[in-house]
Amino acid sequence: MAFPGARGRTKARTWLRALRPVTDADDELIIARLYQEYHDPLLAFVIRHTGGDRQWAEDIVQETMIRAWRSLDQLDAEAASLMPWLATVARRIVIDERRRRGARPQEAGEGPLEKLQTPDGMEDLLRGVVVSEALKALSPAHREVLTETVLRDRTVNEAAEVLGIPVGTVKSRVYYALRALRVVLEEMGVTP
């Protein structure tokens, strides 16, 4: 309910003065009167500042009303209207919210996460089975040298010592074993 003209300003000041000091019993009346008096004009003001986003504007108006209610004892009861104070508070809330949104990265939502594939270990298991089968097709000497250098992660010198053969022989066997393994994998339809 709007209070038009000078008579309206007097009524507005009267209800504002009548609510001081604020008590718990007055809470409901204060909120109702604030919304009744200022909701529509404040909403129109805030919609312009939120770029037409009505939902955001409603949130801003609600926060402004809460701040007005909390600060009621600090407001000027002699003022013709609370609208200048409310507009200033609302504008500051909009500015703070814009800054907050700009400082925080955009939320992606749940869509991309639903399509994200997580490794389940099956691919590694299958790769291990395929390589194991391919190793069986190699000669024992080639299989032995790859087992020591690749699977057991030994250096050429360490592999030569374990296998009891010269370092040059280990290097040569690794070279030819990898070539043979590549051929076997290609025959199995696997491309490295």
Furthest C-alpha separation in the chain: 110
pLDDT digits (tens, 9 = 90+) for 93-109: 999 998 888 777 666 66
Of the pLDDT bands very low, low, confident and very high (cuts 50, 70, 90), residue 110 is low
- Out of 4-18, 73-87, 108-122, least confident range: 4-18
Reduced to 3 states, what is the DSSP secondary structure of residue 41? helix
Question: Which two three-digit tokens encode residue 104?
Answer: 């925080």
Please give the mean pLDDT across all residues of the chain: 80
pLDDT digits (tens, 9 = 90+) for 137-172: 999 999 999 999 988 899 999 999 999 999 999 999
Instruction: Report the distance separating Cα 104 and Cα 128, nearest Å.
Output: 44
Q: Full-prediction pTM beyond 0.85? A: no
The confidence score (pLDDT) of residue 111 equals 64
Helix-helix angle 122-136:167-187, to 10 degrees? 110
CB 179 within 8 A of CB 141: no
The confidence score (pLDDT) of residue 170 equals 93
pLDDT digits (tens, 9 = 90+) for 36-60: 888 999 999 999 998 889 999 999 9
